[in-house]
Amino acid sequence: MTTHMKTDLLVIGAGSGGLSVAAGAVQMGADVVLLEGHKMGGDCLNYGCVPSKALIASGNVAHLQAHGADFGVSNVVPRVDYAAAKDHVADVIAQIEPNDSIERFESMGVHVISEFGSFVSPTEVQAGDTRITARRIVIATGSSPMVPPIPGLETVPYLTNETLFDLRAQPEHLLVIGGGPIGMEMAQAHRRLGSQVTVIEGDKALGRDDPEMAEIVLTALRSEGIQIEEDALAAEIRGHAGAIEVETKDGRIFRGSHLLMAVGRKPNIDRLNLEVAGIQTHRAGIQVDESLKTTNRKVYAIGDVAGGAQFTHVAGYHAGVIIRSALFGLPAKQRVDHIPYATYTNPELAQIGPTEADARKLYGAKLDVVRFDFHHNDRLLAQRQAKGLIKVMVVKGRPVGVSIAGPQAGELINLWALVIANKLKMSAVAAMVSPYPTVGEINKRVAGAYFSPKLFENPMVKRVVAFTQRWLP
């Protein structure tokens, strides 16, 4: 027997974006129904951001044990218990899980239904035995690992980010197909935990980043013994568990014990029956406008499924945008110029706005590019980590893009996200006083590097100072 429900807001998907919408809406007085047919918390909590950063932390501890001599502490060969490292990952997930649990959201007043949803009309969704009619609907179903149709892959065991963290036996030699952020993060974590690692990338590793910045990271990863093969398009995969071969289009052959597929993501739309709701899609996901509305004006799509930048923080930002529209009927549009992202290798990569190459195309002669090298930062010198670079793209005194490669790049980019979001100028950063010695001084120093030529290399400034010095008492 089908149960019928009516609600103000129906949210399909309990990942980061969906949970943020549901929590915000119910606390503002809306009647909210939330559907989740798999795990609360979505990809980020269960297979993505949280477990990957936990495993990276295990790898970092092992790396520190093996590299203490420069600090007067003897190097030791770390004794890695891979299964115990995975227990650490599971424990971190378990600590965060209550924040995303059914119990917590039901205590807020959200009606949670543990079923997948499928449209049966433009305003109705079927979830198991329940049919929900909603005034507004939010699709927040996220994305899944994309597995390309490489010949032979269907007969060979492989891992994705959804299965990697269940692995208990350490890979002897991990083959990673894909040199993007996920592939490179997991490559370094496993190398530091003692596995041999080969990354096989069909184009350029970390190819969406500024090439100069990417090279800083890739050089560091290669120095740790990670084999990174670029322009290596996988053409055939063969073998069996423990003995896998990847042959590339140009005839190179790479052998390993385990295979991780990390070539990108695909939107989770197959179950939704979007055609019935009049919702159009494109290759990257659901078609949305600047207000994140689909071609069905009563339905929004947010996060990965909306086909834009695939980051947890973007889904959370999208949630804030549509709350204004869905609950209050007020105009709201997303921005993309102030969205940062980071890759959590060591050293880290971070970016906001256009890279140098893209900024030069956009702004031409109006663009100033200011640089500051990490080897001038005293805190990082003390920590023997002073390898890195920050570049700020500036137009008429206002930063439009920032690229960072080095320790804590993901933390350093936060300030620039604030600056760009609020359209502040470089003078605001230069006026900031940073405690000494901190890594954060890098941001102030690069702002100082922007103004230095204007003050110290300007003949007019020198003439004015000389004149005033003659007349000052």
Which residues does the annotation place in the binding site for FAD? 53, 117, 141-143, 304
Query: What is the rounded distance in angstroms from the CA atom of residue 438 to the CA atom of residue 378?
Result: 8
Query: What is the rounded distance in angstroms from the CA atom of residue 236 to the CA atom of residue 199?
Result: 15
The closest alpha carbon to 233, from 255, 250, 245, 256, belongs to 250
The closest alpha carbon to 411, from 365, 442, 370, 375, belongs to 442
Query: Residue 350 pairs with which residues in a beta bridge?
Result: 342, 404
Specify whether the CB–CB gap between 390 and 404 falls below 8 A. yes
Specify whether the CB–CB gap between 148 and 23 falls below 8 A. no
The closest alpha carbon to 210, from 341, 357, 346, belongs to 357
Own/partner pairs for 413-418, CB < 8 Å, 24+ apart? Answer: 413/340, 413/342, 413/350, 413/351, 413/352, 414/340, 415/440, 415/443, 416/340, 416/352, 416/392, 416/443, 417/338, 417/339, 417/340, 417/352
Q: Phi then psi for 87, rounded to 5 degrees?
A: -65, -40
Report CA-CA distances (Å) from 436 to 21, 415, 429, 433. Answer: 40, 17, 16, 9
Q: Is the bond preceding residue 459 a cis peptide, omega within 30 degrees?
A: no
Query: What is the rounded distance in angstroms from the CA atom of residue 65 to the CA atom of residue 76?
Result: 6
Could you tell me which residues are annotated as the binding site for NAD(+)? Answer: 178-185, 201, 264
H or E element, residue 256 = strand 253-256
Specify whether the CB–CB gap between 350 and 392 falls below 8 A. no
Query: What is the rounded distance in angstroms from the CA atom of residue 305 to the CA atom of residue 309?
Result: 10
Query: What is the rounded distance in angstroms from the CA atom of residue 387 to the CA atom of residue 216?
Result: 8
Could you tell me which residues are annotated as the binding site? Answer: 53, 117, 141-143, 178-185, 201, 264, 304
Return the C-alpha torsion angle 263, 268, 271, 277, nearest 10: -130
